[in-house]
Amino acid sequence: MRKALLALLVCFTPLHAAELTLELPGGTRTWDSDALLSHPQAQEVSIPDDVSYKKDMQYRAVPLAALLEGVTPDQHLQAVALDGFAAELTAAPLLATKGARAWLAIEDPTKPWPPLAAGKPSAGPFYLVWTEPKAARIGPEQWPFQVARIRYLPAVAERFPALLPADNAGAEVQAGFAQFQKNCLACHRLNGAGDAQFGPDLNIPHNPTEYLVGDFLPRYIRNPQSLRRWPQGKMPGFSKEAITDEELGQLIGYLKHMAGRKVSP
């Protein structure tokens, strides 16, 4: 059912152009892959050690900033993928023209990209990639692939008050909330709040801090299949480059805090 629903957003075959919908403050626009491949700012972009393919890749891509007409750095965007992955993205790094730079890679229907793994589709038709990602500490969840739609939305805290820590929560918990938004919300909901349709809720019925005790939760976040291994496991591991030990502690502190703030969906 999920695949059928998402197929309504992007319909393509290897012989037809795909479509990307942009819902921005100035209005809604749909681009097809042919138009993007011939965009005046389209160029070949080399991506060393691509996050999704785990190897060097080269793409025909357009600077994402060129497509975000009317968006300002203080605003918030969401990239929605075919499988329900919903990446929450602050606009400022997407609009940057120096340092870490965001690009929309476009899959040419006549020259499809390789599959992500055996029996899997490619990262196309549209894939958000970065050059010099370390300059802005861009994490793996900020590389959404199979993108169908990019839309302007109010900030996460405004849309989903059920995610908010208590007013008297300390700075570490607030920092953990920021890490949750950056690294978890693309796949998971919490207290039923969020737009992702990918992973389980992280507070209802039980918070992982309630059953992954000791060092098991940080070990699981670093390398999920070291604790639970199955062929369909999709959660990536988060290296110390993606989230430092300090940031991981902040994230787990936020989850522990929210275990005491359960709200039934």
Res. 219 pLDDT band, cuts 50 70 90: very high
pLDDT, tens digit, 9 for 90 and up, residues 154-202: 989 999 999 999 999 999 999 999 999 988 988 899 999 988 877 899 9
CATH code at 159-259? 2.60.40.420
Position 264 scores a pLDDT of 77
Domain residue extents for the chain: 2-153, 159-259
What pLDDT was estimated at residue 169? Answer: 95
Q: Is domain 2-153 classified as CATH 3.40.50.300? A: no
Least confident interval from 20-24, 94-98, 230-234: 230-234
The reported pTM is 0.80
Both tokens of residue 141?
């969840």
Average pLDDT in the 136-148 region? 92
pLDDT for 4: 40
Banded pLDDT at 230 (limits 50, 70, 90) = low
